[in-house]
Amino acid sequence: MGAAATLHLPVLPLAQPGPPASAKGSAVRRSFSEGGSSTSGGEFAKALREHGLAPLVRARVTTLQVNVGKFCNMACHHCHVEAGPKRTEMMPRQVAERVVTLLEQNPGVEIVDLTGGAPELNPNFRWLVRQIRRLDRRIIDRCNLTVLFEPGMEDLAEFLAAHEVHIVASLPCYQAENVEKQRGRGAFEKSIAALKRLNVLGYGQPGSALELDLVYNPLGAFLPPPQAALEANYKEELARLFGIEFRQLLTITNMPIKRFADFLERTGKLEAYMGLLVNHFNPATVPELMCRSLLSVAWNGTLHDCDFNQMLDIALGASSTTGARTIWDMTSLEALTGCRVATGSHCFGCTAGAGSSCGGALR
């Protein structure tokens, strides 16, 4: 492509990427008014009902997403965790041990997705990684890249490689200005240096077992562009500018909660953004929603249907039928299959356009 002319990530018009015309239905023009969460009511549940998709129920749990705490070396503008250097919430060893026990009891859980904050800064992170690998489960580390340059993290990249940890790393653009607008001064240079270091270790190289994926999320109140086209841009530009390689790009929609919701509110864009998400409700994304196959564990052991619900203190939908509120209330995760997911207005962030999940676009 003509590189310089097309480098800037597009600020998409509200209609792109659009759902099939039939998907828009009466959700279009509906003003956003839902608050809180629900397993039966609210605008999101109504949208599901209108498409014959209600209630939203769980399939088998195949991923345990463990949020080990809110401490982070960064404080990004869009962060749904409101993580930062001043946060003190950290998963203690006692909870980490219970996570391992739950994995032992549930061989059907294939992937453990470690998130935060910066998960690597939790003092129990490496212990947890070793235990999970002992159980032969795959591990995802949601890495902000700059953490590789924090004190005490000098050997982190080698540790992750030695344990074949799949790295999913945030990089909202391949241009410094855009990255630093969202993630703070100095973030771009460190991110590029971290990616080069990971490449040297074999991460992201063709044929390597060391998986390296990048995450794009929009720099403003718009939906991500089509994932495949953006991935092609990223691959071309990161290779051309820095010689960096990676496996795939995951596009994730900004959730209208916490820091991003505050930003939208401050700039008078909250209602328009919610309208955008609601108007682009795409029923084809619903069967693939991550909350159907993922269980989210908080730093203190509470259980949730996803990390977003966790940050909103929305209890696991299944808690009303199974009584399972914390990691100590569960033994077999099979008990969750068929249980309802607790949804709320923020769920429109997962179903807009091509859909969004921790694994990127859904359709």
Buried b (16+ CB within 10 A) or exposed e, 248-279: bbbbbbbbbbbbbbebbeeeebbeebbbbbbb
CA dist 159 and 272 (Å) reads 44
Estimate to the nearest angstrom the gap between the alpha carbon of 43 and the chain centroid.
Answer: 23
Question: Is the Cβ of residue 82 or residue 236 nearer to ligand SF4 in the bound state?
Answer: 82
- Token pair 């996570």 in the structure block, residue: 99
Residue 348 C-beta: closest distance to ligand SF4, Å = 8
Q: How far is the CB of 2 from ligand SF4 (least distance, A)?
A: 32
Pick between residue 57 and residue 75 the one whose CB is nearest to ligand SF4: 75
> In this complex, which beta carbon is closest to ligand SF4, that of residue 295 or of residue 341?
341
Q: How far is the CB of 74 from ligand SF4 (least distance, A)?
A: 4
Alpha-carbon distances of 131 from 66, 96, 97, 172, 324, rounded to whole Å: 14, 10, 9, 32, 24
Smallest distance from ligand SF4 to CB 192, Å:
16
Q: Tokens 């390296």: give the residue.
A: 212
Closest distance between ligand SF4 and the C-beta of residue 157, in Å?
A: 17
Separation CA 78–CA 199 (nearest Å) = 27
Residue 6 to residue 119: CA distance in whole angstroms = 34
Interface with ligand SF4 (CB under 6 A): 72, 74-76, 79, 81, 83-84, 116-118, 144, 289-291, 305-306, 308-309, 341, 343, 346-347, 350
Sign for the CA dihedral angle at 148, 154, 156, 161 comes to positive
Cβ 236 to ligand SF4 shortest distance, Å: 25
For residues 100 and 221, which CB has a smaller minimum distance to ligand SF4 in the complex? 221
| C-beta of 192 vs 331, nearer to ligand SF4 | 192
Q: State which residue, 131 or 254, has the beta carbon closest to ligand SF4.
A: 254
Shortest spacing between CB 340 and ligand SF4, in angstroms = 10
Cα(102)–Cα(331) distance, rounded to whole angstroms?
Answer: 6
Q: Which is nearer to ligand SF4, 78 or 100 (CB)?
A: 78
Q: Which of helix, strand or coil describes residue 353?
A: coil
